[in-house]
Amino acid sequence: MNYWNGKYTETPFSEGELYGTGLFETICIVNKKAKYLLEHYERLYCGGKSLDISFEMSYENFEKIIYDYITRSELNDFALRFTILKRGAGYDILINSRKTTYTRELYERGFSLKTSPLRKNPTSPLTYTKSTCYADNLISLKNAKSLGFDEALHLNFEDEVCEGAISNIFFIKDGIIKTPAVECGLLPGIMRKKVIQKLKEKNIPFQEGHYSLSEFIEADEVFITNSLMHVMWVNAIDDKNYFKRKNTDIIASFFIENKGRD
């Protein structure tokens, strides 16, 4: 017998409900169109392999479910969250949505980052999946915002920069764009991948590696990415302020999906 919101039930709770074994994707919807939907699907499939969730849904069915939700929505532009929670050999599907909050004013102002005391663990498989075990990120983000910042910045146990609470991070120094390598302990975001692909296509100098916080502090420009914000310039990390954003604006211009800049 189980207890659920004031009622007793014989329905067993799932592993997803009890232990947070699940995955989610946050998908940018612009003009009733889902951005990078195939990439979101592929990450769900790969994450399922990592967490022993048999996500065997075809891409066609996934797409149909997403667009059925979009059609029923009263909004044209929003963030859609697609969640799967492990239940035995299968899974439950949850979909919800919210308005996006990335305005033109935010892109002009940029984001400030606060270094979090929480550290990323490169040995944990959860580090590399979009898992519903997301409390560490939310705690870091809430703490950063309570101190007047927009986003948190995570290091690993080797004091190497990894990622933000809700973003991947890049910096520019002497004309070279650099970003932490995945093995530092970060979720390889879809927009991160898109930016790297675009840099290679345009033969822009680029490196992945292991970087200290001081290397970011000494950078000429810093920017962060995720599937909703696309590319956002960073105006500060802790007490360090940045004033350059020219190259970041050029990179952002590659992605016309960035509605905040239309």
CATH of residue 53? 3.30.470.10
Domain that holds residue 252: 104-261
Would you state the pLDDT for residue 11?
A: 86
Q: CA-to-CA distance for 86 and 13, rounded, in angstroms?
A: 10
168 and 219 share a domain?
Answer: yes
Q: Are 97 and 228 in contact (CB under 8 A)?
A: no
63 and 125 share a domain?
Answer: no
183 and 55 share a domain?
Answer: no
Which residues are paired to 206 by β-bridges?
Answer: 177
Of the candidates 126, 145, 142, 143, the one whose C-alpha atom is nearest the C-alpha of residue 134 is: 126
**pLDDT in single tens digits along all 262 residues of the chain:** 999 899 999 888 999 999 999 999 999 999 999 999 999 999 999 999 999 999 989 999 999 999 999 999 999 999 999 999 999 999 999 999 999 989 999 999 999 999 999 999 999 999 999 999 999 999 999 999 999 999 999 999 999 999 999 999 999 999 999 999 999 999 999 999 999 999 999 999 999 999 999 999 999 999 999 999 999 999 999 999 999 999 999 999 998 654 444 3
Which residue type sits at 190?
A: I
Rg of the chain, C-alpha, whole Å = 19
Would you state the pLDDT for residue 256?
A: 64
240 and 140 share a domain?
Answer: yes
50 and 137 share a domain?
Answer: no
186 burial level (CB within 10 Å; 0-12, 13-18, 19+): buried
40 and 169 share a domain?
Answer: no
Q: CA-to-CA distance for 216 and 27, rounded, in angstroms?
A: 29
Q: Among the three residues 50, 77, 98, which one is the final residue of a domain in this structure? A: 98
Domain count for the chain, please give it.
Answer: 2
Would you state the pLDDT for residue 4?
A: 87
DSSP label of 117: E
Longest dimension (CA), the chain: 64
Would you state the pLDDT for residue 255?
A: 87
